[in-house]
Amino acid sequence: MPPSLQSQSAVDPQHPDIDIRQGRKVFASERGDVEALADIDLQVRRGEFLSVVGPSGCGKSTLLKCVAGLERLTSGSLQVRGEAVREAPLGLGMVFQRDLLLDWRTVIENVLLIAQFRGLDMGKARVRALELLHLFGLEDFVDRYPWELSGGMRQRASICRALVDDPALLLMDEPFGALDAMTRDQLNVELQRIWEDSGKTVLFITHGIAEAVFLSDRVAVMSRNPGRIMKMIDIDLPRPRNLSIRDSTQFTHYTGQIRDVFLSLGILKNH
């Protein structure tokens, strides 16, 4: 299993890892200001897997970028592990919808990119990278180039890259959105396996209702124009979850709850 996370011990365990209060984000455009996020109150606990599910254009990616320090909230407060976010918080791993692997680097060199940026001991980072690649079944592709890999394998490698410096916080922006349904299911299972017992806090952005329920401890359901959190749902399903849990009545109860929110907002329509 991935090494434990000593880095957390210095921080107050009662404090949420991500703490957003009255978050609001406005983008200036030619036709006036556009409110992307409004009234965002969100606390993500240490070690929690929280998904934000919403339609495209609801500002969920903007929300994640704010947490990553890549965008600033227009107003409101945003703290990551007790500190106001001004630049990217330390101990942060990011996975995007596109794998963003560098064509000129082999798989392991790609995984080590973040270790180089962070100035880690490369010997140790290499051991960790190999461990991660093994966990994701990429041990035979360590020295291959990205173009020799399938979409699913590329995204696995990009998750390894995010985990290489053992971050306490993992931000994932629709990481499986571009994959086919079967690969996506498989990666859901693998991500859950890696996340369990790792103690990592995960903020997971998706437009997939079933994916959000399957992976999460809690699901935040968002509306658009502006992006607001309409409902917060605790997912009380036993772990580890396997794919067949999706057929259980409990599971469909949760997905139904989320779908009802979108139906009531007119984001989904029955006819």
Partner 1 sequence: MTFKSSGVGRFLEVMAVLVGALIVWEIAVRIWMPKPFILPAPSLIWSEFASSPGYFLAQTGYTLGTTMGGFLLALLLGFISAVGIVYSRLLERTFYTLLVALNSVPKVALAPLFVIWMGTGVEPKIAIALTIAIFATVIDTVLGLRSVDPELLSLARSARASEWQVLLRIRLPSALPSMFAGMKLAISLALVGAIVGEFVAGNTGLGQVILQAQGMFQTARMFVAIIVLGILGTVLFYGLEALERWLLPWHVSQRGQIMQHGA
Q: Which of 103, 236, 240, 269 binds partner 1 (CB under 8 A)?
A: 103
What is residue 9's three-state secondary structure?
Answer: coil
Q: Which among 150, 222, 237, 148 has a CA at the least distance from the CA of 186?
A: 150
Site for partner 1 in 165-204 (CB under 8 A): 165, 171, 180, 182-183, 186
CB of 233 to partner 1, least distance (A): 28
Which residue's structure tokens are 């009662």? Answer: 14
Q: Which among 75, 59, 17 has a CA at the least distance from the CA of 228?
A: 59
Q: Which of 49, 96, 204, 214 binds partner 1 (CB under 8 A)?
A: 96
Is residue 88 near partner 1 by the rule CB under 8 A?
A: yes
| H or E element, residue 115 | helix 107-118
Is residue 65 near partner 1 by the rule CB under 8 A?
A: yes
Question: Angle, nearest 10°, between helix axes 151-163 and 107-118?
Answer: 20
Q: 104 or 249: whose CB is closer to partner 1?
A: 104
CB of 63 to partner 1, least distance (A): 15
Planar angle of CA 195, 174, 9, nearest 5 degrees:
35
- Rounded Cα distance between 248 and 144, Å, is 40
Is residue 46 near partner 1 by the rule CB under 8 A?
A: no
Q: Are 234 and 216 in contact (CB under 8 A)?
A: no
Q: Which stretch binds partner 1 (CB under 8 A): 11-19, 36-44, 149-157, 191-199?
A: 149-157
Q: Which residues would be at the binding site for partner 1 (CB under 8 A)? A: 65, 68-70, 87-88, 90, 92, 94, 96, 98, 100, 102-104, 113-114, 116-118, 145, 147-153, 165, 171, 180, 182-183, 186
